[in-house]
């Protein structure tokens, strides 16, 4: 019952969030731009955007790449769904012309019990849009809380690996690996990572994607 209340509260908090969190540097090198398309897990829920993992990723890229300068555009919005992502993505691709797009969406759809077939269709549409633009895609996998039941959570989680294989994209199997379920690394709602979890998220991403960005 307590977990249900947390999810119920989270739903309305997201729906009440009217302002989109879009962190954009003053200038960027379009040839080396990385766009993060996500929800509150990437938008710095409970912290500033500068403390969230996309900003730390830019620092990691700068440290690891001696030949290239990268800019990370965090276009993540708390409460975002895959349907909202489909609507917003074309304008973002046109404006920023990213070289890479990290696609982290679906959690809010899942928390609301949307049909998985619809979530997969929206994620597929975004992957196709990104690839058509000439950018590379990395799919960031998400798991739902177990109280939703394995009949829903298992195929929900499996869709990310299936999509990555179908479209030959890069994949981070589970964004919150070594974070989810740890009370010291999750906020009181049990759904969002804490500030101290952000470096672990970067380690998860870099483990699977670092080789793509090294010079």
Q: Which helix (H) or strand (E) holds 140?
A: strand 136-140
Name the burial class of residue 41, with classes exposed (0-12), middle (13-18) and buried (19+) by CB atoms within 10 angstroms of its CB.
buried
Name the burial class of residue 211, with classes exposed (0-12), middle (13-18) and buried (19+) by CB atoms within 10 angstroms of its CB.
exposed
pLDDT value of residue 124: 98
The yes-or-no answer on residue 76 being catalytic is: no
Q: Which of 39, 42, 76, 192 is the catalytic position?
A: 192
Cα of first residue to Cα of last residue in the chain, in angstroms, is 50
pLDDT value of residue 13: 43
The yes-or-no answer on residue 192 being catalytic is: yes
Burial 59-71 (b: 16+ CB within 10 A, else e): ebbeeeeeeeebb
The pTM for the full model equals 0.85
pLDDT value of residue 31: 61
Which class would CATH give 2-213?
Answer: alpha beta
From first to last of its 215 residues, the chain has per-residue pLDDT tens of 444 334 434 443 443 343 334 444 433 345 689 999 999 999 999 998 899 999 999 999 988 876 678 899 999 999 999 999 999 999 999 999 999 999 999 999 999 999 999 999 999 999 999 999 999 999 999 999 998 999 999 999 999 999 999 999 999 999 999 999 999 999 999 999 999 999 999 999 999 998 876 55
Q: Which of 40, 42, 76, 78 is the catalytic position?
A: 40
Query: CA-CA distance, 193 to 121, in Å (whole number)?
Result: 27
Supply the DSSP symbol for 26. Answer: S
The yes-or-no answer on residue 189 being catalytic is: yes
pLDDT value of residue 63: 85
Burial 138-171 (b: 16+ CB within 10 A, else e): bbbbbbbbeebeeeebeebbebbeebbeeeebbb
């Amino acid at each position: 019952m307590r977990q249900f209340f947390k999810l119920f509260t989270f739903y309305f908090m997201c729906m009440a969030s009217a302002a989109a969190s879009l962190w954009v540097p003053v200038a960027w090198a379009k040839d080396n731009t990385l766009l993060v398309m996500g929800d509150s897990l990437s938008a710095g829920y409970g912290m500033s955007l500068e403390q969230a993992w996309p900003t730390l990723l830019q620092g990691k890229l700068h440290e690891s790449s001696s030949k290239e300068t990268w800019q990370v555009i965090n276009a993540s919005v708390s409460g975002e769904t895959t349907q909202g992502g489909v609507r917003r993505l074309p304008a973002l691709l046109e404006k920023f012309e990213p070289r890479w797009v990290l696609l982290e969406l679906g959690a809010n759809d899942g928390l609301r019990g949307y049909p998985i077939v619809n979530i997969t269709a929206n994620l597929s549409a975004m992957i196709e849009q990104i690839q058509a633009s000439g950018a590379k895609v990395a799919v960031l996998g998400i798991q739902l809380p177990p109280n939703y039941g394995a009949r829903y959570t298992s195929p929900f989680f499996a869709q990310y690996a299936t999509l990555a294989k179908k479209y030959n994209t890069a994949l981070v199997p589970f964004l919150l690996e070594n974070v989810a379920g740890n009370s010291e690394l999750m906020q009181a709602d049990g759904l969002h990572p804490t500030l101290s979890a952000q470096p672990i998220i970067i380690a998860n991403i870099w483990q699977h994607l670092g080789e793509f960005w090294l010079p």
